[in-house]
Amino acid sequence: MGNLIRIIQAFRPYWWRVLLIIVMILINATFGTAVVPEVTKMIIDQAFPRKDLTLLAWLVLALITLPMFTGVISIALDYVSVTLAQYVMHDLRIGLYVRLQAVGLRFYTSERTGEIISRLTNDVNGVSDVLSNVLSGTLSSSIAMLTTLIVMLSLHVPLTLLSLGLTPIFVYLAVRVGNVLRGASKEKQQTLADVLSVLEETLNVSGTLLVKSFGRQRAETARFSAISERLVTIQVHQTMVARWFLLSFHLFFNIVPALVYYLGGFQVIGGQLSPGSLIAFIALQSQFFPTLRQLLGIPLDIQSALALFERLFEYLDLPIEIADCSNATTLDHIAGHIRFHHVSFCYQPEQPALIDIDFAVQPGQLVALVGPSGAGKSTTAYLLPRFYDVEQGAVEIDGHDVRSVTQESLLQHIGMVTQETYLLNTTIRENIAYGRPDAADEEVIAAAQTAQIHERILHLPNGYETVVGPRGYVLSGGEKQRIAIARVLLKNPRILILDEATSALDTRSERLIQAALAELQMGRTTLAIAHRLSTILSADQILVMNAGRIVERGTHAQLLQQGGLYSQFYDEQLKSR
Ligand SMILES: Nc1ncnc2c1ncn2[C@@H]1O[C@H](COP(=O)(O)OP(=O)(O)OP(=O)(O)O)[C@@H](O)[C@H]1O
Ligand SMILES: [Mg+2]
């Protein structure tokens, strides 16, 4: 019920269109259903016996012009209802997109991308199909049916009752079929989501690399084939159930008029009923059942729309974990002071990922986070731009708790180069200017030069206008990293988070990246998750992490002297070089 109210609310901004639709349907129902049989009756019962050719001509003219009139109205009706349904869908899509942009990282680390895409496409489209049906269907069918019924009753009560006598069977059948179809449609949406998930997972560069390198093409095809076949079964089942229903409807549709002819014929022969009335009655009755069928389909449509809406509302109601607090201030100019105050955090309850993390970074300093894989280095970095909120303690920038300022103003001061470089499938220029789309060409080039990638870009066939391909696969790993560095350089934030890629690069590439990073760090507060010796050696402070805690801290020289985990680490790194 709550959902139904929500759906109705979605139409509120477009109330005048709804009104217009109702008016047009009323006009069409009156002229389309009631008038034509009446005119037919007049032709047979008045024009013929009176041999009145003028009346006949007028009546025929009416028969010709009426469909034109109702036709024009029905086109206008279609236009208004399609626009209405499409606008409501558009609002829904935008609402979903805005919500999905606002939800935290946590959602995306658990939900399948294919499922998300499927809801925004398949489910929204499903709703829109149903909605246009329901919109024009409910009103026009019920009004048409009502007017037909009234005219039928006015013509002949017993024959009307005879025609209606068989409807319960028909209603029963429609309800049964409706239930079967509804179940199938729900299953179909889920299967469509599964299809998209497999496609999204395997049909991209990373997926293809994985599948090919393990020679799993056949297995993946089998997995896809199984889901695809499920779709076949559902679709065939759905169609056949509908076909059987249609057949029984047609039988029914032919039997009733035959009976009406027979019983009505008695009365015509007996002189109690005019032939015109009987023919008008049959015409009306032949309109009655299709509209009844349409009307019976509507609860079914509404129910399947409700099932789809439920899936959509589930997303619209996703909790926004990280939201600006009501009295959030804007963080304007900052010096770049970072402070972690006894911070604890966990991804899953009872499984702390960070325990009592406490450190301070002065403006312009470089802090290196080092430690084994899974120690919590990336997690620590994610707390600064507020990708997650701390469980205990606080993260502060220039003395402001990151939860007390608007996210927009917070993120303006933070630049990130992540462990895995992600580029959008657009030109290199647009990728570099992602944080500042209005940047001048000279600024983009300057950033690329500082990031040591300008020369390489010039050698590409289209220079800065080269499209980098999905996720930037046209470029090498090292090149992508340097583009990512240029991207942050252009944004020019006070605070820099650097999650260094662990993959080793050749010495030339490594040197280029080192130079680019050195430029990037200049004059900024940097939190670097460091794998490169160069970063570690030049750090003002090194924090050694293990199992979610800071276990050692100090400069390189101090830590070596302590002879703890860090010195072990350093020895191993030196040996491997
Ligand atoms: N989205 C997540 N959901 C649940 N647990 C997570 C999630 N991300 C990370 N973890 C867990 O939190 C711990 C810390 O992970 P984190 O990514 O911070 O490690 P890291 O120090 O950056 O490691 P690496 O050097 O390999 O990048 C790990 O045990 C990891 O399994
Ligand atoms: Mg990491």
Question: Which band of pLDDT confidence, cut at 50, 70 and 90, is reported for residue 387?
Answer: very high
Nearest residue (CA) to ligand 1, atom 29: 374
Q: Which residues surround ligand 2, an ion (CB under 5 A)?
A: 378
Closest by Cα among 425, 411, 344, 427 to 379: 344
Higher-confidence residue of 303 and 577: namely: 303
Per the structure block, which two tokens stand in for 210? 């994985």
Contacts of 76 (CB under 8 A, 6+ apart): 24
545-556 pLDDT tens trace:
999 999 999 999
pLDDT at 155: 84
Let me know how many helices (H) and strands (E) the chain has, helices first: 23, 10
Comma-separated ranges of CATH 3.40.50.300 domains in the chain: 338-576
Other Cβ atoms within 10 Å of 15 Cβ, number: 9
Nearest residue (CA) to ligand 1, atom 6: 347
- Separation of 233 CA from ligand 1 center, angstroms? 42
Mean pLDDT of 322-336: 90
Q: Which ligand is nearest to the CA of 379?
A: 1
pLDDT at 246: 79
- Separation of 151 CA from ligand 2 center, angstroms? 76
- Separation of 419 CA from ligand 2 center, angstroms? 7
pLDDT at 521: 81
439-459 pLDDT tens trace:
999 999 999 998 889 999 999
128-179 pLDDT tens trace:
777 777 776 777 788 778 888 888 888 888 888 888 887 787 778 777 877 7
Which percentage of the chain shows pLDDT scores above 90? 36
pLDDT at 549: 95
Pocket of ligand 1 (CB under 6 A): 109, 347-348, 353, 373-379, 419
Contacts of 320 (CB under 8 A, 6+ apart): 99, 102, 103, 104
Q: How far apart (Å, rounded) are the C-alpha atoms in residues 433 and 525?
A: 22
pLDDT at 180: 79
The atom number, within ligand 1, closest to the CA of 380 reads 18
Is 2-316 a CATH 1.10.1660.10 domain?
Answer: no
Q: How far apart (Å, rounded) are the C-alpha atoms in residues 359 and 394?
A: 11
Mean pLDDT of 313-321: 90
The atom number, within ligand 1, closest to the CA of 377 reads 21
Substitution candidate for ligand 1 out of 105, 107, 344, 347 with most atoms within 8 A of CB: 347
pLDDT at 420: 82
Question: Which band of pLDDT confidence, cut at 50, 70 and 90, is reported for residue 511?
Answer: confident
Nearest residue (CA) to ligand 1, atom 27: 373
22-61 pLDDT tens trace:
898 888 877 777 788 888 888 989 989 999 999 999 999 9
Q: Is the pLDDT of residue 462 over 80?
A: yes
Q: How far apart (Å, rounded) are the C-alpha atoms in residues 170 and 158?
A: 20
Can you list the alpha helix ranges (DSSP code H) found in 271-317? Answer: 275-316
pLDDT at 220: 92
The atom number, within ligand 1, closest to the CA of 379 reads 18
Mean pLDDT of 267-295: 84
Question: Which band of pLDDT confidence, cut at 50, 70 and 90, is reported for residue 506?
Answer: low
- Separation of 370 CA from ligand 1 center, angstroms? 14
- Separation of 575 CA from ligand 1 center, angstroms? 27
Looking at domain 338-576, its CATH class is alpha beta
Substitution candidate for ligand 1 out of 370, 379, 391, 546 with most atoms within 8 A of CB: 379
Contacts of 415 (CB under 8 A, 6+ apart): 435, 488, 491, 492, 493, 495, 496, 497, 524
- Separation of 347 CA from ligand 1 center, angstroms? 9
- Separation of 312 CA from ligand 2 center, angstroms? 33
**Highest mean pLDDT (candidates 33-37, 180-184, 287-291, 480-484):** 480-484
Q: Is the pLDDT of residue 17 over 70?
A: yes
337, β-bridge pairs: none
Closest by Cα among 328, 359, 365 to 343: 359
Substitution candidate for ligand 1 out of 378, 384, 417, 543 with most atoms within 8 A of CB: 378
Across the chain, mean pLDDT equals 87
478-494 pLDDT tens trace:
888 889 999 999 998 99
pLDDT at 366: 93
Q: How far apart (Å, rounded) are the C-alpha atoms in residues 430 and 487?
A: 9
Per the structure block, which two tokens stand in for 42? 């007049």
pLDDT at 503: 60
pLDDT at 162: 82
339-363 pLDDT tens trace:
999 999 999 888 899 999 999 999 9
Mean pLDDT of 245-264: 82
**Highest mean pLDDT (candidates 79-83, 109-113, 412-416):** 412-416
Nearest residue (CA) to ligand 1, atom 26: 373
Mean pLDDT of 422-436: 91
pLDDT at 218: 92
Q: How far apart (Å, rounded) are the C-alpha atoms in residues 173 and 295?
A: 14
- Separation of 378 CA from ligand 2 center, angstroms? 4
Nearest residue (CA) to ligand 1, atom 22: 378
Mean pLDDT of 66-74: 89
Substitution candidate for ligand 1 out of 377, 419, 503, 569 with most atoms within 8 A of CB: 377
Cα angle 19, 302, 181 (rounded to 5 degrees) comes to 150
| CA distances in angstroms from 72 to 69, 80, 188, 192, 550, listed in the order given | 5, 13, 37, 38, 76
Per the structure block, which two tokens stand in for 433? 């200017």
Q: Which ligand is nearest to the CA of 375?
A: 1
Do 329 and 406 contact (CB within 8 A), yes or no? yes
pLDDT at 502: 62
Mean pLDDT of 108-133: 85
Contacts of 291 (CB under 8 A, 6+ apart): 141, 144, 145, 148
Per the structure block, which two tokens stand in for 169? 């069977």
| Phi, psi angles (nearest 5°) of residue 357 | -85, 120
| Phi, psi angles (nearest 5°) of residue 227 | -70, -40
Closest by Cα among 192, 150, 548, 571 to 378: 548
360, β-bridge pairs: 339
Comma-separated ranges of CATH 1.20.1560.10 domains in the chain: 2-316
Burial 365-375 (b: 16+ CB within 10 A, else e): bbbbbbbeeeb
Q: Is the pLDDT of residue 465 over 60?
A: yes
pLDDT at 577: 58
Nearest residue (CA) to ligand 1, atom 10: 347
